[in-house]
Structure 1
Amino acid sequence: MAEELLAEREKPAPRRKVISSPYLHRLQRRHFLLFDVAPIAGTVGAFAFLAVRPFSTTDLVLLLSMWLLTGLGVTVGYHRLFTHRTFRAAQPVAVVLAILGSMAGQGGLVSWVALHRRHHEYSDREGDPHSPNLSGRGFKGRLRGLAHSHFLWMRRHEYPNIVHYAPDLLKNRALVRVARYYYHWVVLGIAVPALVGGLVSLSWTGAVSGLFWGGLVRIFLLEHIVWAINSFLHMFGTRPYESRENSRNGAIFALVTLGESWHNNHHAFPESPSFGLDWYRLDPGYWLIRLLAAGGLAWDLKTPSEDRRAAKRMTETTPAGGPSA
């Protein structure tokens, strides 16, 4: 008996899933101000700058191209490849996707992956960092939930232990190196459109306009598109498949979200690189993955079988909240 007690005492303490400290909360507040609040001010500044330089074709091209590149970095890289490992990719492709995702200003690679894996583990339950469904009932509760999940949760939250949630990424030296230079990639994502805008127009006003539209406005738009998936698509939309949380599809937003708005599909089949699941459901993120696969740069695409999809398809008798966890 004494030996058993001694062995029990010598067992290592269970690894903590989350870490909370004043130092981490200071970092969170700094990131919130720099990359969540500042783009709002930058967008206001962009519209004010129209009095100095009208919106140009160059500005439109920079806005759309930087939004597309960084958006694909988030959905294909951060989300489908690194978080859920829905396919495998050549190391150069993985590194490029990690850099493009970092330019979006939504957090460093390892932290983003850890947070999203925790979201799936506790989705719409206590422990979910950004559920809109845990702030009470009624109109006020739903409004508080939407505000929390869409924006306010980033000010201060428990930090998921990356050793617990992202050990696979920590073993990849190239990806850890990319994550270490996160702030540099965000600055690069703002500097590049400023440089292009200045070179095309050969003027400082073109550089400033490029910085605004291809940099700060692009970050603002992409952030709110991604955050709307966390907030509105856990409260509103269609629900074709059973899942243990309240995820929903928003078909009308499929293109602008690059396929992310097939959110119920994703939660029902998180291992699938295709969020639309059917060819006629628009999913630009999956189109890129298929293109990479055709070139031999991606493989092991794990789409669910028809039988598995049929087994999880909602029926009239299925509860709206899905099966119990």
Structure 2
Amino acid sequence: MDMTLADPQTGTGDRAPKPIMAGARRPAAHAAVYAFVLVPLLALAAAVPLAWGWGLTWTDVALTAAMYTMTCLGVTVGFHRYFTHGAFKAGRIMRITLAVAGTLAVQGPILHWVADHRRHHAFSDREGDPHSPWAYGTSPAALARGFWHAHLGWVLDPKLTNQERFAPDLLADRDMRLVHRLFGPLTMVTLAVPALVGGLVTWSWWGAVTAFFWAGLVRVALLHHVTWSVNSVCHIWGDRPFASRDRSANFWPLAILSMGESWHNLHHADPTSARHGVRRGEIDVSARLIWVFEKLGWVHSVRWPTPERLARLAASAPATGGTPPA
């Protein structure tokens, strides 16, 4: 793979564009990635038999829903729409709050997450995209391999996206560098808080254990796979009402669980838009939260989509929704 591919976000006029990759994780850090992926996944696999008659209480359900909603919105509103795409502006306290909330989702440190996602948009469904399902071709076997790569395989790749090229603004922010370094301690917090609350509410060690399992491990695993499904499912299946230069699509079954992220076609057609679900019936919880923040004066300069721009994007969308990349 060409490691000096040009991209629109960093400018094509540079005489010597920075490489898109920058080294690899240390062995201990890479082993931790496997742990962050596999341990919650094993918990998710065990969830159904454990829930059958024991091990799940209404306290666990409420804690899981609350932790899932908070951390998912930390990713969608914070890591994605704000830090990656600049869909709105915020002051220092809100920036730190969004960065911490996103980190509690255990999807990687903020600098890695943002750099990877900006690289994804720079090379979407082309060579250089870290997680395109079209990376190996269009045959059924190639798509099966590509689906695995887009959904989970790319996460296990030890190579790192170059933050100097794709996230220089966050590298220059002392607060964001600190949140990035605190990924390990914040991971312990996101697992320990449900256990603490569950133990205190039920006043029992067993309440702490079940809350740790459901609102900690299972919640992290579920959010992992919902987020990764936007990378995999939403670049293969769905409708494409707006013009984009890739295979991004809207997949409505994931709309609620992804807080609006699965309205993926409009997002790739207009990446800086604060709202992804723009047509009738397209529920976008993340956009609604940004709207609330704006009304409270906590964020400003929100980039809401305009009817004129949406009409232009819809008018130029291919009737077939585009073709797979070569």
Q: TM-score, normalised by structure 1?
A: 0.90
Q: Deviations over 1:137-189 (max 9, x none)?
A: 22111111111111111111531111111111122211221111011111100
Aligned to 1:161: 162
- SS of the residue corresponding to residue 15 of structure 1 reads coil
Change (3 A) 1:132 1:303: same
Match of 1:113 in 2: 114
Displacement of 1:97 in angstroms is 1.3
Which structure 2 residues correspond to residues 50-199 of structure 1 after superposition, within 5 A?
50=51, 53-199=54-200
| Alpha-carbon distance between aligned partners in 2 of 1:135 and 1:323, rounded to the nearest angstrom | 11
Corresponding residue for residue 242 of structure 1? 243
CA separation in 1, counterparts of 2:305 and 2:244? 15
Residue 263 (structure 1) aligned with residue 264 (structure 2): yes
CA deviation map 1:14-33 (0-9, x unaligned): 42221234xx2635632431
Please say which of residues 136-145 and 98-107 is displaced more in the overlay: 136-145
Rg comparison, structure with higher value: 1
Q: CA deviation at 1:81?
A: 0.5
Q: In 1, Cα distance between the equivalents of 2:75 and 2:121?
A: 17
Work out which of the residue numbers 4, 17, 20 in structure 1 matches 2:20: 17
Whether 1:32 and 2:63 are equivalent positions in the alignment is no
**Alignment partners' CA distance in 1, 2:324 and 2:214:** 44
The equivalent of 1:5 in structure 2 is none
Asked if the contact 1:194–1:209 (Cα under 8 Å) also holds between the matched residues in 2, the reply is: yes
Match of 1:104, SS?
Answer: coil
- 3-state SS in 2 of match to 1:20: strand
Q: Match for residue 6 of structure 1?
A: none
Shift of 1:321: 2.1
1:8 aligns with: none
User: How much has 1:90 moved relative to structure 2?
Assistant: 2.3
Distance 2:318 2:289 in 1: 37
Shift of 1:201: 1.2
When residues 250 and 319 of structure 1 are mapped into structure 2, their CA distance, relative to the original with a 3 A threshold, is: closer
Q: Aligned with 1:176: secondary structure?
A: helix
Give the secondary-structure state (helix, strand or coil) at the position aligned to 2:234: helix
- Deviation of the 1:324 alpha carbon: 9.0
Note closer, same or farther for the CA distance 1:91–1:52 as it changes in structure 2 (3 Å cut): same
Structure 2 contact 226–254 (Cα < 8 Å) conserved: no
Q: Kindly state the Cα deviation for residue 225 of structure 1 after the two structures are TM-superposed.
A: 0.4
Gaps of 5+ in 1: 1-10
How far residue 307 of structure 1 moved from its aligned partner, in angstroms, is 2.0
Classify 1:51/1:275 alpha carbon distance in 2 versus 1 (closer, same or farther; 3 Å).
Answer: closer
Backbone CA RMSD of aligned residues:
2.4
Note if contact 1:237-1:249 (Cα within 8 Å) is conserved in structure 2.
yes
CA distance in structure 2 between the partners assigned to 1:316 and 1:47 by the alignment:
42
The 1-side partners of 2:320 and 2:213 are apart by 47
Evaluate the alpha carbon distance shift between residue 203 and residue 213 of structure 1 in structure 2; reply closer, same or farther with a 3 A threshold.
same
Amino acid at match of 2:92: Q
Q: Structure 1 residues 117, 316: closer, same or farther in 2, change over 3 A?
A: closer
Aligned counterparts of 1:51 and 1:244: Cα–Cα separation in 2: 46
- 1:57 and 1:187 map into 2 onto residues whose CA distance is 24
What is residue 219 of structure 2 aligned with on the other side? Answer: 218
Inter-partner Cα distance in structure 2 for 1:316 and 1:178? 40
Give the SS at the match of 1:100: helix
Aligned CA distance change for structure 1 residues 12 and 309 (closer, same or farther; 3 Å): closer
Gaps of 5+ in 2: 1-13
Q: State the 1:252 CA deviation.
A: 2.9
Distance 2:104 2:78 in 1: 12
CA, structure 1 residues 13+313, in 2 after alignment: closer, same or farther (shift >3 Å)? closer
Matching residue of 1:293: 294
2 CA distance for matches of 1:16 and 1:247? 25
Cα separation, 2, equivalents of 1:314 and 1:269: 14
Q: Per the alignment, in what secondary structure is the counterpart of residue 192 of structure 1? A: helix
Contact 1:244 1:324 in 2 (8 A): no
